[in-house]
Amino acid sequence: MAEQILKVEYSDIMQKSYIDYSMSVITDRAVPDIRDGLKPVQRRVLYDMNQLGVHHDSDTLKSARICGDTMGKYHPHGDASIYETMVVLAQDFKRNCPLVIGQGNFGSIEGDGAAAQRYTEAKLAKITDEVFLKDLDKSVDFVPNYDEKLKEPVVLPARIPNFLLNGSEGIAVGMATSVPSHNLGEICDLIAAYIKNPSLSVKQMMKYLKGPDFPTGGIIANMSELKSIYETGTGKLKLRGKIEFEPAKKASGKDKLVVTEIPYTMVGNIRGFMAEVQALCEDKKILDITDMYNHSNEEGVRLVMELKKGANVEKLINLLYKKTKLENTFGVNMLAIVEGRPETMTLKSIMASYVKFQYELIQRKYKNLLDTEEERKEIQEGLIAAVDMIDAIIAMLRSSKTRAEAKACLKTGDLKNIKMKDKTLAKVVKKFSFTDRQAEAILSMPLYKLIGLELDALIEDNKETLAKIKEYKSILKSKDKADELILADVAKIKKEYARPRRTQFEDAEEIVIEEEPVQEIEVYYLQDKFGYCKLIDTATYERNKETVETEFKYVIKTTNLDKIALFTSKGMMYQIKLEQVPLCKIRDKGTPVDNLSKFSSSDDEVLYVTSAKLPKGYILFASKEGLVKLVETIEYETNQKAVAATKLNDGDSLVSVVFCTGKEDIILQTKDNYFLRYDMSEVSVLKKNTKGIKGINIGDDDSLKAAYAFPKKDNGATAQLGGEKFIRLSEIPYGTRATKGKKQK
């Protein structure tokens, strides 16, 4: 065959490929099917466990075996995702009704991960066996698996709307699903009401389904917005943990605040909440908590906060809700796959889809049962008829040479190849007209079926079969009968598996914290050569003035409401609010500036530290390559935590950052001890986002070491430049910018 080259538009191919990929992620991975509320990987795990026989009344099986079997047969996407799926299906703090029973370490509500799959075991939960997998072979379609060697179900025959029961979370391409879980008993009540009256409004539905019910309990604080969420399928739930006040039992004891339930959004992040409370205490925003510890166990969450005497409990509770994850938002987006397409579901459309699916399951199930009973009826009628003419059948069989010959005679009565001696029986044989299935059953009929009692039993079985056929036909023809089956099934499920609601509702007012203004006081900002910073009050400074000036690289008199600016060798300026810097004793270590700002000391160096309230003047920048410039201080008035202070060439870095008025002399010093001095007026005033101009002519293998600004009146003074010996400034002659300068011995 000759090679054929097709020319196509690249953008068209990319667009089609991306759309195909997106739809694959949406429908085959991230978004659940509205019928069983499961994603493909969840469905495959449960089906594989069913095939392995790991039922609720059997022994558990190694998780690694289940994951490996699922991956090899149905889901070839890696065992890590399969195991994670199975773990979540078993976690009662993430699922209202866990569909898997786990044995071993399956993680904790505090954020501990599950043990490796080789250590844990699992089996199906009872509700999974009885509500999700029952009648699997009778009621749903099966499709080839990924390599077309096996079959897997398109959907599980779930008899409850699992989309509501256990909720779902998933991120696809361009869309996401986030569905809260609900109470099983309320779902069953809603189904019963909806079956009886499908025209129920959302408001009427909410008399039965009060709202989401999270496995962690907690409080939904915006109850009035639930109706809108159920009408549109989208919205936000304001979740709160539950806090209880426990007064001291003894006079010497302490009052306590105890978190007994957490918002669902805090699952796995209890340590983060405790860290938030600790940070608020350290920042003096919470003053009434003296200690905090975690007493959570298998019985539930218990986070205990010990209080000072006379603590304002109501204010403290409001502060915890406002400033920590104890109050959080759960975004609702009830996206599901409906008939192969993603669709945002309302409560009415969820119920409509559920009932439609149940009718389909009933039709499939009872059609299969009817077909089975019709076959049984056909065989039973054939056997009953055969017993009445058993003599003729036996005579025919004795005269036949092969089984095929005998079977053909039973179906047609043809005796062309069969010679029967008894003409009377031959006349009976010629009237045979059994069906193929009946003929096969007769040929396979054991002799004991000729016993009278066995015949009576066969007749009774036939009566039962006829009754079942009548019943199944009536179910298939009658919507009312189907409704009765659904209602009876739902009532049984509710009785067996329903539990009391955990999550409560209220319409809480927005919490407003009126924070008392921080009193402004004079402090000293200290920063040592290792980058640790702290504040001390003026009295401490006065008592330890000599020690402070000796041990700390930067000592700045300021106020606790001011900000500090750090200029670095990479040409950046970082700001730190002094509210964040701890007020310490003189011997306290302090806090690294890395922890209080975006500055990182691993690849940068602080060159200049000053109050962010810079006086009117200029900042002198000098770089390793000998470039200099002046920038007006007004350009650094900003609220941003990090800004570019100047622009540098690739590979260049700053060596000096100096505040000046612009009327000083500038002195530049190179590593080879060349000094150049000239009037600051020769240095250009530029914008902060520009590079500098040439300040000194640097020789080969030399670079600028430092830059200084000295008032002209200090010409007779001596200075220790660059850590070298003291030099009298008058010994450094004036020169011209961009020249080499003079080498000092």
| Segment 564-576, tens digit of pLDDT | 999 999 999 999 9
pLDDT digits over 299-323, tens only?
A: 889 999 999 888 888 889 989 998 8
> pLDDT category, 744, cuts 50, 70, 90?
confident
Q: Shortest CA distance to 568 belongs to which of 598, 589, 596?
A: 598
* Closest C-alpha among 317, 326, 352, 323 to residue 338: 352
pLDDT tens digits along 321-373? 988 999 999 999 999 999 888 899 999 999 999 999 999 999 999 999 999 99
- Please count the CA atoms within 13 angstroms of the CA of 686 that sit on its side-chain side: 19
| 28's tokens | 């085959």
Strands 289-294 and 303-307: antiparallel
Question: From start to end of 454-605, where are the E strands?
Answer: 504-505, 522-527, 532-537, 554-559, 563-568, 572-577, 591-592
Per-residue pLDDT reduced to its tens digit, 416-432: 877 877 778 888 888 88
Q: Answer positive or negative: Cα dihedral of 405, 409, 415, 420.
A: positive
Res. 469: pLDDT tops 60: yes
Annotation says 119 is catalytic: yes
What does the pLDDT look like over 156-165, one tens digit per residue? 999 999 999 9
Query: Cβ(344)–Cβ(234) under 8 Å?
Result: yes
Helix (H) or strand (E) holding 165, with range, is: helix 162-165
**Per 3-state DSSP, what percentage of the chain is helix, strand, and coil (rounded to 5)?**
40, 25, 40
Angle, CA 404 vertex, CA 398 and CA 408 arms, to 5°: 85
Mean pLDDT over 3-21 rounds to 69
CA–CA gap between residue 578 and residue 564 (Å, rounded): 7
Structure confidence at residue 455 as a pLDDT band (50, 70, 90): confident
The pLDDT of residue 454: 72
**C-alpha pair distances (Å), 498 with each of 96, 165, 199:** 10, 11, 26
Per-residue confidence (pLDDT) for residue 449, from 0 to 100: 66
Alpha-carbon torsion (631, 635, 641, 644), positive or negative: negative
Domains along the chain?
Answer: 25-155 (3.90.199.10), 242-325 (3.30.1360.40), 353-495 (1.10.268.10), 517-612 (no CATH), 614-745 (2.120.10.90)
Residue 512, pLDDT score: 65
Q: Among 58-62, 408-412, 463-467, 687-691, where is mean pLDDT lowest?
A: 408-412
Residue showing tokens 């976690």: 91
Q: Which of 29, 31, 353, 341 is nearest to 160 (CA)?
A: 353
pLDDT of residue 174: 65
| The pTM of the whole model exceeds 0.85 | no
Tens-place pLDDT, residues 521-576: 899 999 998 999 999 999 999 999 999 998 999 999 999 889 999 999 999 999 99
- What pLDDT band is residue 723 in, cutting at 50, 70 and 90? low
- pLDDT at residue 720 in the model: 64
**Which runs of consecutive H residues, i.e. helices, occur in 283-422?**
313-323, 347-388, 390-399, 403-412
Is the pLDDT at 513 greater than 70? The verdict is no
Q: Are 188 and 97 within 8 A, CB to CB?
A: no
Name which of 115, 131, 133 is nearest 165 in CA terms. 131
For the chain, what percent of residues have pLDDT higher than 90? 60
Which of 64-68, 112-116, 634-638, 725-729 is predicted with the least confidence, judged by mean pLDDT?
Answer: 725-729
What's residue 534's pLDDT? 93
Q: 575-606: per-residue pLDDT in tens? A: 999 988 888 888 888 889 998 888 988 889 99
Taking the CB of residue 583, how many other CB atoms lie within 10 A of it? 15
Which residues, including other chains, have CB under 8 Å from residue 143's CB and lie 6 or more apart?
151, 152, 153, 154
* Nearest alpha-carbon partner for 153 in 22, 49, 20, 30: 49
Q: Residue 101: which pLDDT band, with cuts at 50, 70 and 90?
A: very high
Q: What is the 3-state secondary structure (H, E, C) of 435-495?
A: CHHHHHHHHHCCHHHHCHHHHHHHHHHHHHHHHHHHHHHHHHHCHHHHHHHHHHHHHHHHH
pLDDT at 407: 87
Catalytic residue among 18, 21, 74, 119: 119
**How high does pLDDT run on average in the chain?**
89
